[in-house]
Structure 1
Amino acid sequence: MTPQRKSLAKRLVGTNTLWIALVLLLLIAVFGALRPDAVLTVFTLQTTLVETSVLLVLAVGMTFVIITSGIDLSVGSVLVFSGVTSAMTMNSLNGGDATNAGWGVVVVGLLVALASGAAWGLLNGLLIAKAKIPPLIVTLGSFGAALGAGQLISNGSNVSGVPNVLSNNLGTGTTFGVPNLVILAAVVTALGALLLGTTRFGRHTYAIGSNEEAARRVGIGVTRHLMAVYLLAGVLAGLAGFMAMAYFRVASVTGHDTDNLNAIAGVVLGGTSLFGGAGSIVGTIFGVFIPAVLRKGFVIVGVNVYWQPIAVAIVLVAAVWFDQSRRKARDRS
């Protein structure tokens, strides 16, 4: 083997993304061997993809945040708030019940969801980048505030009246056999990967996460960039809220309590470092699907579903340990 090939092989073996991909393939292989009739089917693939679509959109925004060495605990609550404001707006535009509303009302609802997410993301960014309050504290506060605001304006109840045209097309509709919800999530993920991997915005995101002070000294507008990153996470949380509303046919104020933690776990499992400066959208894809495959596989093979968070916790701790080991080895070299 030539030195160049040895170097390439060494780099591939040392990447978190490769190892996480192998873990995901191993899980699929194990569950597939146990129940090939139920696991290795088109139906199981489709349902797993649909159930993971909303979380994947949240995780794309979270990837940018964590690469900057930040954290956003508010995305699940922003998802709830955005869904509630969107549903209530569509209902008000259609006489109190938007079930039979057309695409014009749906477009307004989408814009409201995105604007609602953007507002919370911008607030987070301002407090973190301008006021210099730690991201953990800021987003923990907005986690409670956004959820409380959503429950306040909806009187603590789920908001029904979601347009049929939205639910039937985006929520459960397909294009050439592929669920439209999955297509939308794939488009968002691809755009996120391009933004992170091929643009100046992506390079600045990595630079800030690696060394914020050094990034500032070379002329990167750190304050402005951090605000943009949290704004992006908020917008994607708003879009996720709209997608969840379309799928479940209701804007729910419950059932999203752990979405923020699931998104963070997926990003970290995918190889994005909690210390900042390293990560990828491709890795996040693999990381998000590990809990999804575990949950689906446990249900199919008849294992108590409560083992799923324990298994995810083990893999998550192992991923963080692996990241720390690589950092220590790199610092010593």
Structure 2
Amino acid sequence: MSLAQSPPTGASVRNARLVSALQRYGVLIALGLLILFGTLRYENFLSPYNITTVLSYNSMFGLIALGMAFVIITGGIDLSVGSVAAFASVVAALLSPHGLWVALIGAVGAAAVLGLINGAIIAYLKILPFITTLAMLLAARGLALILAGNQSVSADYDHGFTTLGQGSISGVPYIAILLFVAFAIGAVVLRYTRFGRRVLAIGGNEEASRLMGLPVERTLLTVYTLSGALAGLAGVILASQFGAGQPTEGLGWELTAIAAVVVGGTLLTGGMGSIGSTLVGVLLLGVIFNVLNFENGRGTISLTVYWQSVIRGAFLLLVVILQNRLTRARAEP
């Protein structure tokens, strides 16, 4: 005979609500507190120049994180996005003499093809996403170096290509506007469309989704193609902003994107996630490094760029541990 389960107490209900609120709003609270700290400590922290600099620099990471969010929600991973972005930056620089739109469409299209290959191998050949995208990481990097001749490729300045990365409207960079528009579309797609519901269902239980008749393979193909295309768009911004295609750039970008997605509350196991929280995660990481730069300027600390990788890795590990603890606490009666 099984014993009846005792009803939850008031304290357990309050704890469950607190854990749920931390999972949902913790990253937003952390961002708000960090901005408040920066505002009180640094004179020009909220200056238009600093704000636009943070948004411009992190727009590339944000677009990659957007694609990564969809991938991780399905329970997958895409390690190739940094190399794909570098490849796209070279393609965009080579096409830049033909104008912005030719370079944009050509580079994003080429990157989408690499994402399509990832998706086809994962969905139809049933190769693990980790292995597939790791192989694509190497392949895309090699393609970028071959196309560029193992050197940076200067972009054309005479046909409007650099306008995307360096231009602005009323002081707001075009790429910042592009970032927010992309995330707004992504949030609507995930929450209100049939495709978004399929992505969540596959991440929750892929086999059950298949038994329900959902087009699992087609959805995975689309998700990885989208991830490749957004990485390609980040590559176009890279070339347009700095005036050159960079075949050796993008190292570690995939970890930055994963960190932003996980910080935003998306489970690495899939099935649950938020596009809006991913954007907040991107901004939180960006503001953290912006604060560190201010501290460097004050002489309080002296961190080289290499320490950013150490901090990023430690921060990602800390967030994953915290997320795991919160998930367990929420599951406990």
With normalisation by structure 2, the TM-score equals: 0.88
Instruction: Letter of the 1:28 partner, please give it.
Output: I
Which residue is 1:235 aligned to?
229
Q: What is the aligned residue count? A: 315
Can you list the C-alpha shifts for 1:259-306, whole angstroms capped at 9, x where unaligned?
111111111111111011111111111111222112111111223234
Q: Which residue among 266, 272, 282 is the counterpart of 1:272?
A: 266
Check the 8 A contact 2:19/2:330 in 1, yes or no. no
Q: Tell me the percent identity.
A: 37
1:141 aligns to 2:135 (yes or no): yes
Deviation at 1:325, TM superposition (A): 2.4
Whole-angstrom CA distance in 2 between matches of 1:235 and 1:300: 34
Alignment of 1:167-206 (within 5 A): 167-206=161-200
Q: Deviations over 1:109-160 (max 9, x none)?
A: 1111111111100000011111111000000000010010110121111111
Residue 326 of structure 1 corresponds to 326
CA distance in structure 2 between the partners assigned to 1:231 and 1:327 by the alignment: 30
Structure 2 residue runs without a partner (length 5+):
1-9
Which residue is equivalent to 1:150?
144
User: Displacement, 1:328?
Assistant: 2.4
SS in 1 for 2:197: helix
Q: Which amino acid is 1:245 matched to?
A: A
Contact 1:298-1:308 within 8 A present in 2 as well: no
Distance 2:67 2:134 in 1: 17
AA aligned opposite 1:45: I
Q: Is contact 2:145–2:248 with CA below 8 Å preserved after alignment?
A: no
SS at match of 1:157: coil
Distance 2:85 2:251 in 1: 10
1:256 to 2:250 alignment: yes
State the AA in 2 paired with 1:41: S
Does residue 47 (structure 1) correspond to residue 53 (structure 2)? The answer is: yes
For the aligned residue pairs, the C-alpha RMSD in angstroms reads 2.1
Instruction: Tell me, in whole angstroms, the C-alpha distance in 1 between the residues paired with 2:74 and 2:210.
Output: 13
Distance 1:167 1:109 in 2: 8
Structure 1's unaligned 5+ residue stretches are 91-97
- Map of 2:216 onto structure 1: 222
Contact kept? 1:17, 1:282, Cα under 8 Å: no
Deviations 1:141-182 (A, max 9, x none): 000100101101211111113344435521221112211111
Give the conservation status (yes or no) of the 8 Å contact 1:162–1:245: no
| Counterpart-to-counterpart distance in 2, 1:240 and 1:67 | 21
What CA distance in whole angstroms lies between the structure 2 residues aligned with 1:17 and 1:330? 12
Structure 1 equivalent of residue 88 of structure 2:
82
The match for 1:110 is 104
**Structure 2 residue aligned with 1:95:** none
Distance 2:29 2:315 in 1: 12
- How far apart are residue 313 of structure 1 and its match? 3.7
Match of residue 116, structure 2, among 122, 142, 147: 122
Tell me how far 1:22 sits from its aligned partner: 1.2
Query: Partner letter of residue 256 of structure 1?
Result: G
Deviation by residue 1:186-225 (Cα, 9 ceiling, x = unmatched): 1111111111111111111111001111111111111111
The one-letter amino acid paired with 1:326 is L
Letter in 2 for 1:18: Y
Cα deviation digits, residues 210-261 of structure 1 (max 9, x gap): 1111111111111111011001101111111111111111111123211111
